[in-house]
Structure 1
Amino acid sequence: MLLSHGNVRYFADWAVGELGIGPGDRIGAQASLTFDLSTLDLFGGALAGACVCVMPEEYKAFPRDAVDWLGRERITVLYAVPTLYTAMLERGGIAERTPRDLRLVVFAGEPFPLAALRRYTGLLDGAAFYNLYGPTETNVCTFQRLPPDWTEKDGTPIGTALPGTRVELVDDSGAVAADEGEIAVVGPSVLRGYLDGRRAHPATVPLVCGDGVARQAYLTGDLACRDDAGRLHLRGRRDHQVKRRGHRIDLGEIEAVVGGLDQVRACAATWTPGGPGGGRIMLHVEARAPETEVERSVRAALPVAMTPDQIVFTGALPLNSRGKTDRQALAAVPTTRK
């Protein structure tokens, strides 16, 4: 992946300015250096003259240690995936040992379970919460600061484009749409291409943007809609859409609904193709309530067409090297529960 100095500098300049990071801050650097979240920690920290504190790798697997470290190091800025935040809330005791210096809660990479986010906004009263969005190919291209009166009914929009970046929605015909479609990104954060050995391959395609000007755009594969305020809301991925019994279903939408239930700590939906109806939807759940209660809540919350064929309960969802849910590992797990 060919990411330039200019790509990273553009994001770091924006982040330091928007988040107000300065020499008095202590940034909790927990992301791997191969993960794009680290660009805020390292390059943003250098630009701001902030202190960058590197979390020991093993702490990420032990949320209680991670919480202790945040308090001990007086961390003021944390940029992490929601999975880590949720683990610190559910198993790390952050509600009892809240790090009072933490003033910036920044997250990206996956949807934040709404119930967990609601608890955080109550715990860290006065902290600023930012939802950043963008695939590795664009780093961050949109952002949303949660308003002080945020509630679960507001959801977690990914917001609007960074200054100097253009974000379009593209329909199935490849034309720009006003309100719904695949996210396409144009701007200074978009990578130069992919490197295969010594050969570079383009990563962008020509796109006639909403202003009528043709530009090179990166198609993210993420689906979104735009609300009346101009903010974008994710609606899943093209490759997460499945068709079962004649109904087109987005697995991400199932996860969003179920993840918002009070009885559910975390969840992930997987698809097994083949068989009657075209395939089966498996819903893997970390529960905070009895299984029968969770099953009733899930089936009551989802339309019949989106109801999973199986609900599989697990102590903890497997994570990949970036701290996100490992969907390939889940898809490989044999499931027998009805």
Structure 2
Amino acid sequence: LGILPVDCPAAPLTDAAGAGYVLFTSGSTGWPKGVLLSHENVLHFVRWTVERFGVTPADRIGSQSSLTFDLSTFDLFGSALSGACLVLLPDLLKGFPRDVVEWLRTERISVFYAVPTLYQSMLHKGGATGAELPGLRVIAFAGEPFPTAELKRYTELFGNVEFYNLYGPTETNVCTFERVDHRWDPRDGLSIGRAIDGVRVELVDEAHRATRDEGEIAVSGPTVFLGYLTDGELRPLTTRISPDDGSPAYLTGDLGHYGADGKIYLRGRRDHQVKRRGYRIDLYDIESVVQELPEVRTCAAVWTESAPGEGRIVLYAVADGMTRTLLRRAVSAALPRHMVPDDIHLVGRLALTGRGKIDREALASAAPTQERDHGRR
């Protein structure tokens, strides 16, 4: 910062009492926005997490997230609050799953919070097992769906570890959680659970009324951000959920429904739905079905638009022992005809964002000419 010219004086945010820090959304669904969070936002989250995970000064928290990614808030503030040791994963190891597993072992990491993509690479290329990592007692994940077959494999390999599925966009940090039982059956689906203590999470209809039917996930309470920053101006939240509890709510854009167990299950995103040949299709539905195929390790379905309102569904998959023809047959047998992708590509790995998530924008704009070359490009 000392060598960067800063010659534009900034006015203080007089209407943002309690402001603590700014994170930018990834921009995967539009232009990145500055998310202004308060001290109370992060404190409420880490107090809950430290208590739920039972973090003590005896723990060693492994930190692999960038400071620009909200997963890092647990690492930093959770360790400070509990007195646990914070251990930073060197950047140069992140691309090498076996080195990450070795780092977890030698550093005796007991609590680890990461995106599912990293856990998958640790499983398939890093040799991660409970015997290899005996000190690990909490595995938490967030940021993207965890393929159910892969998660089940983890629960089998790590019999003494507690697994937590944490859900929440940058604007709310974590707002719901599900502790994944070792007896969990992938055929039941993976829920995002229930709201964390003190936070209100509702499914709402188009009029922002709480509903028991399928609806958009809305969040209000102490973890919800203060508002968006645009050119130094704060744009606070104004949406309210009916019945109104007095707190502004954030509409996540994620769709969900209640299961028979009363927990919330994701149904995709409003902006992840496409209309093709008269059918409305959720791309996450395609992915969830394809990921159930035993040979498929991970996949991503993307929409490539050729003209306004027109386009093609393209599926990228990482699979073992399959040819493109065999994969297309399996996918065609598993999906209704109107949901079968127009193109299917086998790749060595999926393109990732700087935060370790699947880079859907890069996939949607790609035109691979060599079946196993896309991941490198």
TM-score (norm 1): 0.95
Q: Is residue 354 of structure 2 the alignment partner of residue 288 of structure 1? A: no
Q: 1:19 to 1:272 in 2, by over 3 A?
A: same
Q: Is residue 254 of structure 2 the alignment partner of residue 222 of structure 1? A: yes
Q: Give the alignment of 1:1-338 within 5 angstroms.
A: 1-95=35-129, 98-209=132-243, 213=245, 215-274=247-306, 278-291=310-323, 292-335=325-368
Unaligned 5+ segments in structure 1 are: none
Unaligned 5+ segments in structure 2 are: 1-34, 372-377
SS class of match (2:37): coil
Alpha-carbon distance in structure 1 between the residues aligned to 2:77 and 2:189: 30
Q: CA deviation at 1:289?
A: 2.2
SS class of match (1:289): coil
Count of matched residue pairs: 336
Q: Answer yes or no: is the 8 Å Cα contact 2:130–2:159 preserved in 1.
A: no
Structure (1 or 2) with the greater helix fraction: 1
Q: Answer yes or no: is the 8 Å Cα contact 1:41–1:52 preserved in 2.
A: yes
Cα displacement string for residues 151-176 of structure 1 (whole angstroms, at most 9, x for unaligned residues): 21122100000111111111234332
Q: 1:96 to 1:200 in 2, by over 3 A?
A: closer
Q: 1:64 to 1:192 in 2, by over 3 A?
A: same
Alpha-carbon distance in structure 2 between the residues aligned to 1:276 and 1:287: 33
Which protein has the larger Cα radius of gyration, Structure 1 or Structure 2? 2
Q: Answer yes or no: is the 8 Å Cα contact 2:193–2:263 preserved in 1.
A: yes
Q: CA deviation at 1:336?
A: 6.3
Residue of structure 1 in register with 2:15 after alignment: none
Q: 1:204 to 1:156 in 2, by over 3 A?
A: farther
Alpha-carbon distance in structure 2 between the residues aligned to 1:174 and 1:193: 19
Alpha-carbon distance in structure 1 between the residues aligned to 2:44 and 2:308: 50
Q: 1:97 to 1:229 in 2, by over 3 A?
A: closer
Alpha-carbon distance in structure 2 between the residues aligned to 1:314 and 1:26: 36
Alpha-carbon distance in structure 1 between the residues aligned to 2:200 and 2:77: 23
Q: CA deviation at 1:323?
A: 0.3
Alpha-carbon distance in structure 2 between the residues aligned to 1:78 and 1:96: 14
Q: Answer yes or no: is the 8 Å Cα contact 1:179–1:227 preserved in 2.
A: no
Q: Answer yes or no: is the 8 Å Cα contact 1:311–1:337 preserved in 2.
A: no
Q: CA deviation at 1:234?
A: 0.5
Cα displacement string for residues 157-209 of structure 1 (whole angstroms, at most 9, x for unaligned residues): 00000111111111234332213110000110000001123210123412213
SS class of match (1:2): strand
Q: CA deviation at 1:295?
A: 2.4
Alpha-carbon distance in structure 1 between the residues aligned to 2:246 and 2:56: 38
Q: Answer yes or no: is the 8 Å Cα contact 2:221–2:247 preserved in 1.
A: no
Counterpart residue identity of residue 229, structure 1: D
Q: Answer yes or no: is the 8 Å Cα contact 1:77–1:103 preserved in 2.
A: yes
Q: Answer yes or no: is the 8 Å Cα contact 2:61–2:75 preserved in 1.
A: yes
Counterpart residue identity of residue 172, structure 1: E
Q: Which piece of structure 1 moves more, 259-268 or 314-323?
A: 259-268
Q: 1:323 to 1:276 in 2, by over 3 A?
A: closer
Q: 1:58 to 1:244 in 2, by over 3 A?
A: same
SS class of match (1:105): strand
Root mean square deviation, CA, Å: 1.9
SS class of match (1:329): helix
SS class of match (1:239): helix
Alpha-carbon distance in structure 2 between the residues aligned to 1:248 and 1:335: 27
Residue of structure 1 in register with 2:20 after alignment: none
Q: Answer yes or no: is the 8 Å Cα contact 1:98–1:123 preserved in 2.
A: no
Report percent identity of matched pairs.
54
Q: Which piece of structure 1 moves more, 167-176 or 177-186?
A: 167-176
Q: Which piece of structure 1 moves more, 6-15 or 291-300?
A: 291-300
Alpha-carbon distance in structure 1 between the residues aligned to 2:272 and 2:162: 31
Alpha-carbon distance in structure 1 between the residues aligned to 2:310 and 2:184: 40
Alpha-carbon distance in structure 1 between the residues aligned to 2:170 and 2:309: 35
